[in-house]
Amino acid sequence: MCEEAMNNAQSPLQEAISIVTIVAVLVAVACHLAAINNVPIVSAALFLIASQAYQWAPALTRLPGAQVPMLVSAAVVGGTIYIIGLAFTSPLAAWFSAGQLRRLEQQTRKLKQNRARIKKHRRDRDTFDVT
């Protein structure tokens, strides 16, 4: 199973999209928790975001529940972070790709050093004497 996971490695672009998605979800959850706990500045900003969202999409007023405005504002903030974050996936993917190449070059250097060390050790251990 571990080999399957190693063979199904994500491309740098997929990794960047995954990170942006995770960050957007975490920001949305943090905003929802801030709104529920009535954090002074954040909850007021989220209320303004929710009121704007209700003006842009009046169908949201039909949703039942007391915490719907908090969920709507958290979803809007998370979605905005996701959309803005998608613009940065290409530079993030390039950074990941450069890091992978750097690690590959480092592994290649270590491999060459280890091969040379093993070869030297085998030569030193060889007791064949020509004279």
Per-residue model confidence as pLDDT tens digits over 109-131: 888 888 888 888 887 777 666 66
pLDDT digits (tens, 9 = 90+) for 10-66: 777 888 888 899 999 999 999 989 988 888 898 888 888 888 888 888 887 787 877
Closest listed residue to residue 85, CA positions, set 15, 20, 13: 20
Residue type at position 51:
S
Structure tokens at 90: 């290409």
Distance from chain centroid for Cα 25: 11
Q: Give the C-alpha separation, 50 to 34, whole Å.
A: 14
Residue 6 has pLDDT above 60, yes or no: no
* Confidence (pTM): 0.64
- Burial pattern 7-17, b for ≥16 Cβ within 10 A else e, equals eeeeebeebbb
pLDDT digits (tens, 9 = 90+) for 66-117: 788 888 889 999 999 999 988 988 888 777 777 676 777 788 888 888 888 8
Give the pLDDT score at 116.
85
Structure tokens at 130: 């020509």
Structure tokens at 99: 């890091």
- What does the DSSP 8-state code read for residue 57? -
